[in-house]
């Protein structure tokens, strides 16, 4: 069975969309989406520098747009399941037919702006823990008042909280953790610090009418497959202030009998986790159009079952 996945914030790099504009229709589609959300996706995906695309309000719609155009370049495919990491869940919602691309990007644009505003209230951040046992690390983080904002599987945990709390973590690491690495993000995403963004996003989501998914949609909240569009939309809203449980998503992939995973552009992060947590599962990351033929071969081989 094939699973199609979409990465989250931090996967973007300067100029990563440039080679995709050589494909027929891609630039036109990006410009249409840019107009719809009043954000120049072509500029930010080709000419903007790292600091510009680190901005939460820009990075999030840029990542979703990249996932959509790269998936479309694969042709008409029906995976056995879809999932996304953090903002990648919105990309997956389009794959599943829950939202159309314009509605999803409009909601993501609102999400990015609201999260940027929430991050400005208090100086917060996120740090990745290298090494250690996840259960031990999570308990230690909670003792320090930090949130395990991402439990990604393959031993990877990301802590989030105030800069003071993160400084304390650097001085008092969980047993077995070799290093604490600060992440280049604007705030403590997927924590209580994002509560103001949830309220803003809920108002925007109330204006949408989601469809029920046409393929299995696996949620970050608990790794479960969600069968109604209304519940998926509700989870997309609440997810902003709650941890990402990518570990549980991968457990569900295993239970479903996944044999291959394709990660849409800018792929790499989720495939890396899958290689460690799901041995024997074939993986492919879409980085440039040069990867499309290999992805199509993998899709033809593994199909939906």
Per-residue model confidence as pLDDT tens digits over 28-58: 999 999 999 999 999 999 999 999 999 999 9
Q: Quick check: pTM over 0.75?
A: yes
DSSP of 115-138: HHHHHTTS-EEEEEEEES-HHHHH
Task: Report the percent of the chain where pLDDT is more than 90.
Answer: 94
Q: Given pLDDT bands bounded at 50, 70 and 90, which one contains residue 183?
A: confident
Say which of 85, 127, 140, 190 is annotated catalytic: 190
Q: Is the pLDDT of residue 241 over 50?
A: yes
- Quote the pLDDT of residue 155: 83
Q: What does residue 284 show for φ and ψ, rounded to 5 degrees?
A: -150, 130
Q: How far apart are CA 49 and CA 263, in angstroms?
A: 24
Active site residue 302: no
Active-site option among 34, 86, 127, 200? 86
Per domain, the residue ranges of the chain are: 2-119+191-302, 124-182
Contact 12, 53 (CB under 8 A): yes
What is the predicted pLDDT for the residue at 129?
A: 95
Question: Is the sign of the CA dihedral 110, 20, 246, 161 positive or negative?
Answer: negative
Distance of CA 265 to the CA centre of its chain: 11
- 17-35 pLDDT per residue, tens: 999 999 999 999 999 999 9
Yes or no: is domain 2-119+191-302 CATH 3.40.50.620?
A: no
* The residue count for the chain: 305
For residues 285 and 249, give the distance between their C-alpha atoms in angstroms, rounded to a whole number.
18
**Is residue 190 annotated as part of the catalytic site, yes or no?**
yes
* pLDDT band with cut points at 50, 70 and 90 for residue 305: very low
Beta bridge partners of 150: 158, 244
Q: For position 154, what pLDDT does the model report? A: 79
CATH topology of domain 124-182: Alpha-Beta Plaits (3.30.70)
One DSSP character per residue, 200-227 reads: HHHHHHTT--PPPPSSEEE-TTTS-EE-
pLDDT (0 to 100) of residue 185: 82
| Within this chain, domains 2-119+191-302 and 124-182 share the same CATH topology | no
């Amino acid at each position: 069975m094939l699973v199609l996945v979409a990465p989250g914030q931090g996967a973007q790099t300067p100029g990563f969309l440039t080679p995709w504009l050589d494909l027929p229709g891609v630039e036109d589609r990006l410009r249409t989406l840019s107009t719809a959300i009043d954000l120049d996706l072509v500029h930010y995906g080709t000419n903007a520098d790292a600091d510009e695309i680190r901005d939460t309000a820009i990075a999030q719609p840029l990542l979703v747009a990249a996932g959509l155009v790269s998936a479309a370049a694969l042709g008409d495919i029906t995976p056995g399941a879809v999932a996304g990491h953090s903002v990648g869940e919105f990309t997956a919602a389009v794959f599943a037919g829950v939202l159309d691309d314009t509605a999803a990007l409009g909601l993501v644009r609102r999400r990015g702006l609201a999260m940027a505003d929430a991050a400005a209230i208090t100086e917060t951040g996120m740090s990745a823990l290298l090494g250690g046992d996840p259960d031990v690390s999570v308990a230690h983080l909670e003792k320090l008042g930090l949130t395990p904002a991402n439990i990604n599987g393959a031993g990877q945990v990301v802590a989030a909280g105030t800069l003071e709390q993160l400084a304390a973590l650097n001085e008092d690491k969980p047993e077995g953790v070799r290093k604490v690495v600060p992440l280049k993000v604007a705030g403590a995403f997927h924590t209580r610090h994002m509560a103001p963004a949830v309220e803003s996003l809920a108002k925007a989501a109330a204006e949408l009418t989601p469809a029920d998914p046409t393929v299995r949609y696996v949620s970050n909240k608990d790794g479960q497959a969600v069968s109604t569009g209304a519940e998926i939309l509700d989870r997309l809203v609440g997810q902003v202030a709650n941890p990402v449980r990518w570990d549980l998503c991968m457990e569900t992939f295993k239970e479903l009998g996944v044999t291959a995973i394709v990660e849409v552009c800018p792929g790499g992060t989720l495939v890396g986790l899958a290689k460690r947590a799901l041995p024997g599962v074939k993986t492919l990351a879409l980085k440039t159009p040069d990867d499309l033929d290999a992805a199509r071969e993998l899709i033809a081989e593994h199909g939906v079952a």
